[in-house]
Amino acid sequence: MDYIVFDLEWNQSPYGKRTEVKEIPFEIIEIGAVKLNEKKEVVSSFNRLIKPQIYNEIHSITKEIIHIEISDLLKEESFENVIKDFFAWCGDDYRFATWGNMDLIELQRNLDYYAMDGYIDNPIVFYDVQKLFAMCYYEDRVSRTLEFAVDVVKLDKTEEFHRAYVDAKYTAEIFKMLDHDIVDNYYSIDCFHNPKTKEEEIHLYYETYYKFISREFESKEAIMESKDINGIICHTCNQRIAKKIRWFTTNSKTYYSLGYCKKHGYIKNKIRIKKATNNNVYAVKVVKAVNEEDAGLLMKRYTEAKLRKKEKRLKVI
């Protein structure tokens, strides 16, 4: 299996939201990529500009960052042609790696706009090099810039950032240096095309936690009432466990609960409500063992949330 490390540059409406095309706020104007083989050696590269078809002027911010003139872009081929070449170049056996999760989302939004099916139609596994860099070097999940990471790993900064091919090359260099065990264990899932049916639902068993991505529902209430999703479980035993705290929310986007497994102790269950592109919603559930201290903190948050709810009710009366 190859790794395709890619980066995009995009343009946006030069006159702001007023003239923005809602389905495609960011129009891709450049794609750069590096192909690594199984040993993470560079075997090939891809570097193309793209002729814009939506926004025919470059936004001032874009111009400042990437130094591309519209006249240069107009000589190039369309998104449809460049992307066809790109996927042909990718081959049949690869996984994407990108700095952060935005490039993969915008690539799919652009594919969708041009109704280009057959390239990415399902949730896909990818490597979020930004996340993996944070895990390997700082044991956290903080988002840092590519330039920050380049400085940390002491790569030569001979080429300017914010051109797709240069950023892809830097990302690939960092990707190669990461701890292979962490990379292999902590891949990401892109859900631009989220699961639609129960059969397509995704169950991921990571070393320290379990992640579940549900089918679509019409509302978050429907998710939280669904028996196969609202169960408080231990991921190691793969069964329901005694409830310590029932589901509660502090912002109505994220729900928490706490269970207790006789074998594995306190288990935190968390559900994040995500919006699908068609206004439906789906759940991302994460189940993880926590120590007594973290369990205590969660109980405190639960009590506070309950109190706030009560106060709100009193105000209404």
Which of 40, 144, 176, 264 binds Zn ion (CB under 5 A)? It is 264
Residue 124 burial by Cβ neighbours in a 10 Å radius (0-12, 13-18, 19+): middle
Which of 22, 263, 312, 313 binds Zn ion (CB under 5 A)? It is 263
Using CB under 5 A as the binding rule, whether residue 129 contacts Zn ion is answered as no
Using CB under 5 A as the binding rule, whether residue 298 contacts Zn ion is answered as no
Q: Which is nearer to Zn ion, 232 or 245 (CB)?
A: 232
Using CB under 5 A as the binding rule, whether residue 191 contacts Zn ion is answered as no
Q: Which is nearer to Zn ion, 73 or 289 (CB)?
A: 289
Amino acid at the residue 226: S
Which of 28, 66, 149, 261 binds Zn ion (CB under 5 A)? It is 261
Span 62-91, contacts to Zn ion by CB under 5 A? none
Q: Which is nearer to Zn ion, 87 or 260 (CB)?
A: 260
String marking each residue 227-246 x if it binds Zn ion according to CB under 5 A: -------x-xx---------
Using CB under 5 A as the binding rule, whether residue 8 contacts Zn ion is answered as no
Q: Rounded to the nearest whole angstrom, what is the least distance from the CB of residue 266 to Zn ion in the complex?
A: 11
String marking each residue 131-170 x if it binds Zn ion according to CB under 5 A: ----------------------------------------
Q: Rounded to the nearest whole angstrom, what is the least distance from the CB of residue 237 to Zn ion in the complex?
A: 3
Nearest to 99 by CA among 52, 45, 34: 34
Q: Which is nearer to Zn ion, 95 or 244 (CB)?
A: 244
Residue 146 burial by Cβ neighbours in a 10 Å radius (0-12, 13-18, 19+): buried
Q: Could you list the residues that contact Zn ion (CB under 5 A)? A: 234, 236-237, 261, 263-264
